[in-house]
Amino acid sequence: MLATSTPTIAAESVSVLHWWTSGGESKAIGVLKDDMTQQGFKWDDFAVAGGAGAAAMTALKAQVIAGNAPSAAQIKGPSIQDWADQDMLVPIDSAASGWKTELPPQIDQTMRAGKHYVAVPFSVHRINWLWINKAALDKVGGKPPATWPEFFALADKFRAAGIVPVAHGGQPWQDMTVWENVVLSQGPDFYRKALIELDPKTLGSQQMVDVFTTTRKIQSYFDKGYVGRDWNLATAMVISGKAGMQFMGDWAKGEFANANKVPGNDYVCAVTPGTANGFTYTVDSFAFFEQHGAKQASAGQIALAKTIMSTSFQEQFSLYKGSIPVRLDVPVTKFDDCAKKSYADEQSTLKSGGFLPSLAFGMVQSTVTAGAITDAVTKFMNSSEDPQAGVKELVAASKVK
């Protein structure tokens, strides 16, 4: 008699393209990988290094053109709608029960294409943070700066003490981070008119000239080796005490945590000067791609979306990543003081109108327009161009569609 066996069904492979490669980021995405594996799915990881995701987007386009789109890819803001307009994404509505009440309205809308959810958000990252080494701060007898004059006075103290005042990486997205923070320091209304509405008068105003002037002065406190430096290496300079401060979103906190550093004891998280009434945010999200011509999401895709939005995952992911949960109903009792402040400020700015999408991190404007503005800012920061010329370049860039 011939032996018979029951055929087994192979586990669905879920391919995921993302750019989380630093220590804190890898630990955070590992939580999702473990959760999916425990549910019986095979995790196919495709990580592409690069903090702002430009390299990942190039890789994604190549995969789509080759007919090998991932199950899910890390995409932000208007780019989600761009892929949906190309009929590349599948709806995940069956996973999205309750999302409308669980998410901030601005973020809920970003996850949709028409009436359908096509993407799932992970967490909320605040951009307007200034990270300060506590020992260096104590050494110079300084305090977290609330204004630009206080910032420059502290930077001078760091320099006099032989400490690099500002750790920075000369990459376009990092240059934009600094510049965008200075724009926000002019007030939420100015930021909204300039970067969301692209109002020509605001973009060409003397106030914007002042923004470029302040940005140039901040740049004078970078060290000579900053060009091309990755963001996490700049963060490491603050962690070690080689540098005093860094402008960076709260994913930097994941690096501090990974180095066993404690807020308040080893480092200080302060809102960037002049931005106490604003909260610029970026939202990590996965968009779900059509697989082999199927117009509906697979079981693995739905499971991935549900897992990401579960309260347990939301909590653990943000604890590792340095962010706060995107769900409004997740308790922050386990979070540190930096995250609790971020959460409190999120709630207040949602009511005041100061909760604003980040241009630098792909949450507002098309990739073409945002790219043109980025080029204008980075040209300014990598040349001897004067602020007035920088403003003219900015106005012209805002018209690029």
- SS3 state of residue 275: coil
Tokens standing for 364?
């507002």
What distance in Å separates the CA atoms of residue 86 and residue 317, rounded to the nearest whole number? Answer: 31
What's the confidence (pLDDT) of residue 278?
98
The dihedral built from the CA positions of residue 122, 253, 222 and 273, taken in this order, carries a sign that is positive
Q: What is the pLDDT along the chain (401 residues), one digit of tens a residue?
A: 333 333 334 579 999 999 888 777 888 899 999 999 999 999 999 888 765 677 888 899 999 989 999 999 999 899 999 999 999 999 999 999 999 999 999 999 999 999 999 999 999 999 999 999 999 999 999 999 999 999 999 999 999 999 999 999 999 999 999 999 999 999 999 999 999 999 999 999 999 999 999 999 999 999 999 999 999 999 999 999 999 999 999 989 888 988 999 999 999 999 999 999 999 999 989 999 999 889 999 999 999 999 999 999 999 999 888 899 999 999 999 999 999 999 999 999 999 999 999 999 999 999 899 999 999 999 999 999 999 999 999 999 999 98
Burial category of 276 from C-beta neighbours within 10 Å (exposed 0-12, middle 13-18, buried 19 and up): middle
Nearest to 371 by CA among 102, 52, 103, 134: 52
Query: Identity (one letter) of the amino acid at 29?
Result: I
Taking phi over 0 as left and psi of -120 to 50 as alpha, with beta for the rest, 241 belongs to: left
What's the confidence (pLDDT) of residue 300?
96
- SS3 state of residue 244: strand
What distance in Å separates the CA atoms of residue 360 and residue 368, rounded to the nearest whole number? Answer: 13
Tokens standing for 165?
């005042």
- The β-bridge partners of 125 are 282
Q: Are 299 and 12 in contact (CB under 8 A)?
A: yes
**First-to-last CA distance in the chain?**
72
- Sheet of 267-271: strands edge to edge? 164-166, 243-247, 129-133, 267-271
Share of the chain above pLDDT 70, in %: 97
Domains contained in the chain, CATH given: 13-126+283-348 (3.40.190.10), 129-280+351-398 (3.40.190.10)
- SS3 state of residue 177: helix
What's the confidence (pLDDT) of residue 10?
59
